[in-house]
Structures are given as structure tokens and as C-alpha cells.
Amino acid sequence: EVQLVESGGGLVQPGGSLRLSCAASGFTLSSYSMNWVRQAPGKGLEWVSYISGSSSIIYEADFVKGRFTISRDNAKNLLYLQMTSLSAEDTAVYYCARDVGVGTRDDAFDLWGQGTMVTVSS
Amino acid sequence: SYVLTQPPSVSVAPGKTARITCGGSDIGSESVHWYQQKPGQAPVLVIYYGSDRPSGIPERFSGSNSGNTATLTISRVEAGDEADYYCQVWDSYSEQRVFGTGTKVIVL
């Protein structure tokens, strides 16, 4: 079955760090660009970061630059999001999402995981 | 950064047509994608590159894009179409992907 499964979410104190993982199965991860998208409770979708299949191209939302790092291990079929300097505003469900196409910047997200909840609170 | 504006909600009777707009500067020159999200679930792609439908998405879902407005049209609306809908584009100026503010479709 083609699917994405996120893990690593949880409760973290303000200023803390967390690493999210996204396990891909049923397809060859290296053939696809990948993304992280988040959704704060009761709010809309917010794109976080993009990484190309070879990791050569990375794009980030303004609010994460310098704090979050996207990476991937194609051999292990894993996507990561390393998050540091977390604040309450980062509280959200974090989804990994696959690009639909062959790596153009204006691609859509055709496959989503179920999400992992990150709560930043003391 | 690029702003995509959607109406907060659209109400429609079963069997009628719902039109959800997504406003942005010269959005007609962009590739627009649309997602459906039901409560407690991950989003689902319903329209990509403006008017293409992924496999499994009913023909009742269609998209158009011109000028400063992109539109997702749901024909013959069913109760199961009640959900939040988001548009999304690539902003080449900021090199970021952007989502619209989201529209809740309410089936009366």
C-alpha cells in the first residue's frame, strides 16, 4: 500500500527541540520531492518546507528559517523535520506530503500522511 | 508574501452547484491546486494544475483560473462534499508554497 506515516510528535517545552519522521512505503521515495505542512488547532493549512528527491534543493517558509531543517534518507525511505527553538506558535499537526510530479516547483501534494501532533507548552 | 483569499464559508443545497473562489494577484498565470479536508482527516487533492482531476475524484469537481481569481466548482453537491477546501500555489517571488485561507462548504 502506498502510504506515508509520521511519527515523533509530542509535548515539548518552549525553546525545546523535536525531530519528526515520515516513513514512506509502497513507492520509491527518491523519485519524489517531499514536503512538511502543518495545521494549528482550528486553523488552516500552512506549508513548512520542501526537499527535492536528491536533497539538492530545499525551500522553506519564512517562519522556519534558521529553526527547522528538512532532510531525507532515501535508502531508509524516511523524511525528517528537525525543529529547534520551538514556541507555542509552532503547536500544530504536522503532515508530510508527497509532490505529484517529477519535481517542478509548482507541483501539488498528491499523498499525505495522517499527521503527528506537536504541542509546545510548559 | 503572496496572499490567497478565500471566502470563509459557502452554503449550498444538495444537488446544486458550489463555487469556491481563490483570489490572488494575477493568479491566472499560476498553477493552482485544490484540496478537500474533512474533520480529523488529512487533506486530499481534488484538482491540480488548475483543472486536472486525480484518479478517484468525481467529475463533479472541476477547476478554472483566470485573471485574479481561481474557482473550484462542485456540481450536484452531495452531503459528503461538506468539508474545508484550500487552494494552493507556488509563489515564485518568495520561493515558497502558499495555501489559501480556506473555505468551509456547508451542505444545507
Residue range B45-88, pLDDT digits in tens? 999 999 999 999 999 999 999 999 999 999 999 999 999 999 99
Rg of chain A (C-alpha set) = 14
Q: Pick the residue from chain A with its C-alpha nearest to B85.
A: A44
Residue A102 confidence (pLDDT): 63
In the predicted structure, residue A101 carries a pLDDT above the cut 90: no
- Nearest by CB to residue A110, choosing from B45, B100, B101, is B45
State the pairing for strand pair A78-83/A18-25: antiparallel
pLDDT digits (tens, 9 = 90+) for B9-49: 999 999 999 999 999 999 999 999 999 999 999 999 999 99
d(CA A60, CA B97): 9
Q: What is the count of residue pairs from A and B with beta carbons less than 8 Å apart? A: 65
Cβ contact, residue pair A105, B35, below 8 Å: no
Contact assessment for residue A65 and residue A79, using Cβ atoms and an 8 Å cutoff: no
- Nearest by CB to residue B48, choosing from A45, A95, A100, is A100
Contacts of A113 in chain B (CB under 8 A): 42
pLDDT digits (tens, 9 = 90+) for A18-50: 999 999 999 999 999 999 999 999 999 999 999
Contact assessment for residue A118 and residue A10, using Cβ atoms and an 8 Å cutoff: yes
Residue B18 confidence (pLDDT): 98
